[in-house]
Amino acid sequence: MERHRVLTLNALNQYRKLSELGIEKFKRQGIWRKNDPYVCGLSSDSNDVRPGYIFFAINGHIGHGANFAIDAIDRGAVLIVTDGEGARIISRANDKIPVMIVLNTRKNLAEFATNWYDGQPKNQIAVTGTNGKTSVCHFTQQLWQMLGFRSTSIGTLGVMGSLEFELKNTTPDPIVLHQILRNLVMNDIDYVSMEASSHGLEQFRLDGVSFKAAAFTNLSRDHLDYHLDEDDYLASKCLLFDRVLSPGNIVVLNLDDPCAQLVKLVSENNGHKVITVGVHDSANLKICDQRYDSDGQTLKISYQGFSQIVRIPLIGNFQATNVLISAALVIALGASYKKVFDLLPSLQPVPGRMEFVGTKQVSAKIFVDYAHTPDALFGALRALRYHTIGRLLLVFGAGGERDIGKRPLMGKIAFKHADKIFITDDNPRNEDPEKIRKEILQDCPSALEIPDRAEAILTAIDRMQEGDILLIAGKGHETGQIIGDDTLPFNDKEFVSMSLGALQGSKV
């Protein structure tokens, strides 16, 4: 499918007075009121500022954007929007710079972006949770597409579906996000499924987006390099149902997750209709039976007194839950449940999510999965065990400059659930990769340590025997490996293909 670029701000050719951007509802002060300039764009990065832009100086984790206010003015910014601390920084540098002081710069950025870009697709849903967001969004988009609706998904893999382009973040910043939504409307796309990350929710990136429904997949340890603790992490996820989703809409949640009852309570307190999914007896859309075969699974599902047996070509019991969450979302937005159930066998795997990528000889299969949390790694290994005749082999590492506490936990899970383990580098970034590997190995003493990821994958494939399954975990769809400040080209799936070819060629 042709990949399109996001519309740039300048491409919109908008010039509107500051007073026309709905600023009257913002709590504000400063010297901006001395003029009412024409505005032609918004930016939170001073490098992107052009003449006529508003620059939003945000207090980030590394430093305050107000330190770049003079640069933004030199590039043509007509106004700086920032908080009190930012205003003080700017005033010390140049007290003549026009400043609007607000209580929450991120929140106001989202409001400005919503006002600046007119129009959003009519049918939008958001999905949050530790694992499964990407799969649920893609399955939802696929179902809409099969029902005849022009649709896209927005998230970790970029924008995919009827219109496609790449993104830097799972949940884009409000300016980019509203550019995308306007672009979709201009291309007659009315159905959108969107990932809602905890970072994005906490940073107000989704505020101003009109959702008709939202879903919760699950919650387990992740991002504790950013969040204070797991309670803070859960609270960030709940913002989708408490603040972002307008009262009286629809929430779909995985009733089998331990946090489901809390999410349900938050949702009901906001007047949302709750649809539950899972194997739990009280689930509205229930998995009554689940049988596995070599390349998929057969489910017996029930909904509103109706039962149906469907086979889905997806590996993993967790994928069954993801599929039903997607089905519930599509049904919630008006589709016939019988039509939706009939389409489930046609769903295709999501790139890098329990993706079958090759076979060594006849029966030794290789899978790539994005699993990079303890719970996701456990789920992937447990899922593949049902399909393993011989040994279950595992290649994985852990990302640098991320939650270090999950590394020994992942090592312990690997030691318990895999038969042969190869510890390698993931995305070490600017952290010592040897230190990362040692933190995994402390609870995984029998693993073979091979720092070079390519060598680790090649070695694992070479040692596979008939009936074995190899899982290469951690990077999934990613096409680069981040070492230091550089991103080097590397894709697990492509390297598997190269390795299989090389090994087969060496035996000719």
For 86-125, the pLDDT digits (tens) are: 999 999 998 888 999 999 999 999 999 998 998 899 999 9
DSSP string computed for 322-378: HHHHHHHHHHHTT--HHHHHHHGGG--PPTTSSEEEEEETTTEEEEEE---SHHHHH
For 425-467, the pLDDT digits (tens) are: 999 999 999 999 999 999 998 999 999 999 999 999 999 999 9
Give the model's pLDDT for residue 59: 95
pLDDT over 90, % of the chain:
77
Q: How confident is the model at residue 26 (pLDDT cuts 50, 70, 90)?
A: low
Listed by start position, the domains of the chain span 10-115, 119-346, 355-503
Please indicate, yes or no, whether the overall pTM of this predicted structure exceeds 0.85.
yes
Long-range contacts for 83-86 (Cβ within 8 Å, ≥24 apart)? 83/59, 85/59, 86/57, 86/59
Residue 29 has pLDDT above 70, yes or no: no
Q: Residue 435 is encoded by which pair of tokens?
A: 């230190």
Residue 226 has pLDDT above 70, yes or no: no
Residue 230 has pLDDT above 90, yes or no: no
Give the model's pLDDT for residue 305: 95
CATH superfamily of 119-346: Mur-like, catalytic domain (3.40.1190.10)
Q: At what angle do helices 174-186 and 105-116 cross, to 10 degrees?
A: 20
Measure Cα distances from 194 to 153, 169, 311 in Å: 6, 12, 26
Compute the average pLDDT of residues 220-226: 54
Fold exhibited by the domain 10-115: 3.40.1390
Q: Is the Cβ–Cβ distance between 143 and 343 less than 8 Å?
A: yes
Pairing of strands 151-155, 158-161: antiparallel
Give the model's pLDDT for residue 9: 36
Residue 7 has pLDDT above 70, yes or no: no
Give the model's pLDDT for residue 291: 94
For 264-311, the pLDDT digits (tens) are: 999 999 999 999 999 999 999 999 999 998 889 999 999 999 999 999
As a whole number of angstroms, the distance between CA 327 and CA 355 comes to 21
Q: How confident is the model at residue 223 (pLDDT cuts 50, 70, 90)?
A: very low
Of 6, 127, 156, the C-alpha closest to 478 is 156
Task: Please calculate the CA angle 303-139-197 and round it to the nearest 5 degrees.
Answer: 105
Lowest pLDDT segment from 3-12, 131-140, 361-370: 3-12
Q: Can 10-115 and 119-346 be said to share one CATH topology?
A: no
Q: CATH classification of 355-503, choosing from 3.40.50.720, 3.90.190.20, 1.10.10.10, 3.30.930.10?
A: 3.90.190.20
